[in-house]
Homo-oligomer: A and B are copies of this chain.
């Protein structure tokens, strides 16, 4: 590997004055300057304090985060691992998480993992090296067992080292988790479709093995079982993307033109499904009904508007960030200013919060479920055979 810094560094000096310089300029000791300019338990004479502050701002003093981190043995950085910020599902989570981080004065380092297990491990290591106070993992673990295990191990290591981790999706029994009620959502979708009389149903699934996929599928099957056990389900698998949904749906239509409904395991896939149906000349919902999952913002503006299972992504992001930070600072300002979107998440199914024991060693896992809800729009209608 190439050397680290090839620049002859003509002027590497960063930032302005140091605390020491401020102290000197103000005629006080380093200690006093520190106490004035950063939250300290110790009080300082108000006049002196004002003076120091004045000098500091005149000198454009900017505290040195890394130095503080070193001295305090703690940082105000948290990591956020997402598969892809550009996927609306994750960007919503990120937005929620960031809102809470903002309230808590935390800086969020976002890592795009592209679902690459190695990248994930690497990022965790890097976040660990930065002494991130916590890591929030969004999205279910890698499909491959070995990779998932490695991830899990790395996270446990991190926790043992004193870090906090909350995962949206199950990472194993050691990691606190926020779980969307995928099973219930899948079930709701099934009941809806079955209720409309659909019996020949195509399912557009994501990568097999993905926990999210498995759960949604499981719920769907269960729901069908209880409401229409004469139904036929055929599945086609694709990437968890728009194109994946498109291709899977095309295959579905080729092989089983008789289907009257499509259940796509994510809205992105549903968008692809809609496109494939349109292309095949199958009218939605007259000839084929479509149900998605996630309730991305765009769903209501598709044509027809997509019936889908709502997941409170943004709320989950908020909640997860809250869990991750409240775990180590029980003090809770009631600074809840979040808007309506928060509604669902503000009624966690578990007492949560300060209940479990506190630190690494004797920790008890915390799990909070996030409800899902079927949103019926225009893409579903009665089956016609």
In chain A between 160 and 194, which residues have their CB closer than 8 angstroms to a CB of chain B?
161-163
Q: Is A77 an interface residue (CB 8 A)?
A: yes
Query: Chain A interface secondary structure, helix, strand, loop or mixed?
Result: loop
Cβ-defined partner of A62 (8 Å) among B109, B110, B125? B125
* CA distance in complex: A60, B328 (Å): 24
Residue from A157, A161, A163, A360 having most chain B Cβ neighbours under 10 A = A161
Determine if A271 and B301 form an interchain contact, defined as CB atoms under 8 angstroms apart: yes
Does A111 sit at the interface, judged by CB under 8 A? yes
Stretch with Cβ within 8 A of B (4 or more), from A93-101, A219-227, A256-264, A343-351: A93-101
Other-chain contact of A161, B16, B102, B109 (Cβ < 8 Å):
B16
Interface window among A24-32, A68-76, A202-210 = A68-76
The answer to whether A94 touches B85 (Cβ under 8 A) is yes
Categorize the interface residue count of chain A: 35 or more
| Cβ contacts A69-94/B at 8 Å (1 or 0 each) | 11001110100000011101001101
**Nearest B residue to A304 by beta-carbon distance?**
B303
With A63-B129, A129-B63, A242-B301 known to touch, is A4 a contact of B94 (CB < 8 Å)? no
Chain B residues in 8 Å Cβ range of A64: 70, 129, 131
Q: Establish whether residues B1 and A62, one from each chain, have CB atoms under 8 Å apart when the complex forms.
A: no
Q: Is the CB of B2 within 8 A of A333?
A: yes
- The residue among A16, A314, A361 with the most chain B CB atoms within 10 A of its own CB is A16
CB pair B130–A1 under 8 Å, yes or no, is: no
Minimum Cβ distance to chain B for residue A18 (Å): 12
Inter-chain contact B15/A161, CB cutoff 8 Å: yes
Q: Which residue of B lies closest to A361 (CB)?
A: B11
* Chain B residue with the shortest CB-CB distance to A275: B301
Question: Are A14 and B298 in contact, with the CB atoms below 8 A?
Answer: no
One digit per residue, 1 when the CB lies within 8 angstroms of any chain B CB and 0 when it does not, for chain A 42-78 equals 0000000000000000001011111101100111010
Chain B residue nearest in CB terms to A99: B112
Please state if A85 and B74 are interface contacts (CB–CB under 8 Å).
no
- Residues from chain B with Cβ under 8 Å of A126 in the complex: 107
Q: With A14-B163, A15-B128 in contact, is A66–B75 under 8 Å at CB?
A: yes
Q: Tell me if A229 counts as interface (CB < 8 A to partner B).
A: no
Asked if A320 lies at the interface with its beta carbon under 8 angstroms from chain B, I say no
Q: Give A165 Cβ to nearest chain B Cβ, in Å.
A: 13
Q: A70-B67, A298-B271 are in contact. Are A161 and B14 (CB under 8 A)?
A: yes
A sample of 5 more A-B contacts (CB under 8 A), given A1-B41, A77-B130, is: A10-B358, A13-B73, A14-B161, A70-B70, A242-B301
